[in-house]
Amino acid sequence: MFLYLVKRLLRSVITLFIILTVVFVLVRQMPISGYFPNYEKMSEAQIKNGLHEMKLDLPMHEQLFYFYKDLLTKGDLGMSRIYRNNVPVAEILAPKIPISIKLGSLSLLVALLFGLPLGVIMARNKGKFLDQLGTGYIVVIEAVPAAVYYLFIQLFGTELLGMPLINSPGTFTTSGNTAAWILPVLSMSLGNTAYYAMWIRRYVVDESRKDYVTLARMKGMSSGKILSRHVFRNAFVPMIQYIPTSFLNTVIGSIYIESLYGVPGMGGLLVDVVKRQDNAMVLGIVLLYACVGIIGLIFGDILMVTLDPRISLTKRGGNR
């Protein structure tokens, strides 16, 4: 098991290098005019000068060499040029990450707390009123674009519950005021709640048809006990794979919610810096996301093995 993890981590490092290299080459395909806000008015010498300053006039492999030299020897991701001029990328990202993680993990927690019981209740009342009610909720959340129902929640919160519409800059810190977090966390958790409810329902329904449930029932176990002791644990195994992925999404942040409520997190940061061609920032964020993604996948596998001892990551044919 330990050896397997080491091997897998080594392979991930290679993947990481490929990802960074591909993105590095891709961002350098962007139009030159995008690097200068007043491109039309600049003389050719100025443009040449500017490109030289950013090392963009060097051949691709040399640029790549300098990038990796800085990254590997000094752990330096470079300077942001446009988002905030001449500030190290790491320094920009450092305060934003915990805020997005707090928002995301709170909403994930809410989603699990509501979604799992909802799914189980739906499965136990399959085809009856409660199941149809839950299905209705899931379909509506899937159907109405998130951008729209977030707006309605904000509207409802500000008009009827008297929450402040615009939050002062200091509101969303990792320690700050709790009340302001309620609406963003709630809005963000709705989608995940529906998602978890839908899948846990599916898995509980599938598990309940298995023979061991019939056996447990024949032994005279109460259906509540069958659910909590047998069915739930088996139904939760495939779910566990989604949780690290959901956690990754929390680190990415939500562009809609963070811009609606003025949360200074990671949401939309990648979109913003890609559009403004801040190459160092793009690479920094891609590196961060790729790391979290890869670690998340490995972590999901470890969780799965811990929860279900029948699954083996190392033996062949273990999953038949």
Nearer to another protein, 120 or 282 (CB): 282
Q: Which residues contact 165 (CB under 8 A, 6 or more apart)?
A: 154, 158
Helical packing angle, 232-240 and 179-208, nearest 10°? 120
Nearer to another protein, 250 or 254 (CB): 254
Nearer to another protein, 15 or 222 (CB): 15
Q: What do you get for the CA distance between the two ends of the chain, in Å?
A: 19
Rounded to the nearest whole angstrom, what is the least distance from the CB of residue 136 to another protein in the complex? 10
Between CA 195 and CA 182 the distance in angstroms is 20
Rounded to the nearest whole angstrom, what is the least distance from the CB of residue 281 to another protein in the complex? 11
Give the interface with another protein as residue ranges (CB under 8 A): 11, 14-15, 18-19, 22-23, 26-27, 29-31, 139-140, 142-145, 147-148, 151, 155, 255-256, 268, 270-271, 274-275, 282, 285-286, 289-290, 293-294, 320
Nearer to another protein, 5 or 221 (CB): 5
Nearer to another protein, 23 or 106 (CB): 23
Rounded to the nearest whole angstrom, what is the least distance from the CB of residue 174 to another protein in the complex? 26
Rounded to the nearest whole angstrom, what is the least distance from the CB of residue 227 to another protein in the complex? 25
Between CA 231 and CA 102 the distance in angstroms is 32
Rounded to the nearest whole angstrom, what is the least distance from the CB of residue 218 to another protein in the complex? 26
Between CA 145 and CA 136 the distance in angstroms is 15
What number of H helices and E strands is found in the chain? 14, 2
Nearer to another protein, 112 or 123 (CB): 123
Rounded to the nearest whole angstrom, what is the least distance from the CB of residue 24 to another protein in the complex? 11
Q: Which residues contact 107 (CB under 8 A, 6 or more apart)?
A: 184, 185, 186, 188, 189, 192, 250
Q: Which residues contact 146 (CB under 8 A, 6 or more apart)?
A: 191, 256
Tokens of 308: 């279900």
Nearer to another protein, 31 or 75 (CB): 31
Rounded to the nearest whole angstrom, what is the least distance from the CB of residue 66 to another protein in the complex? 21
E strands, the chain, are: 79-80, 87-88
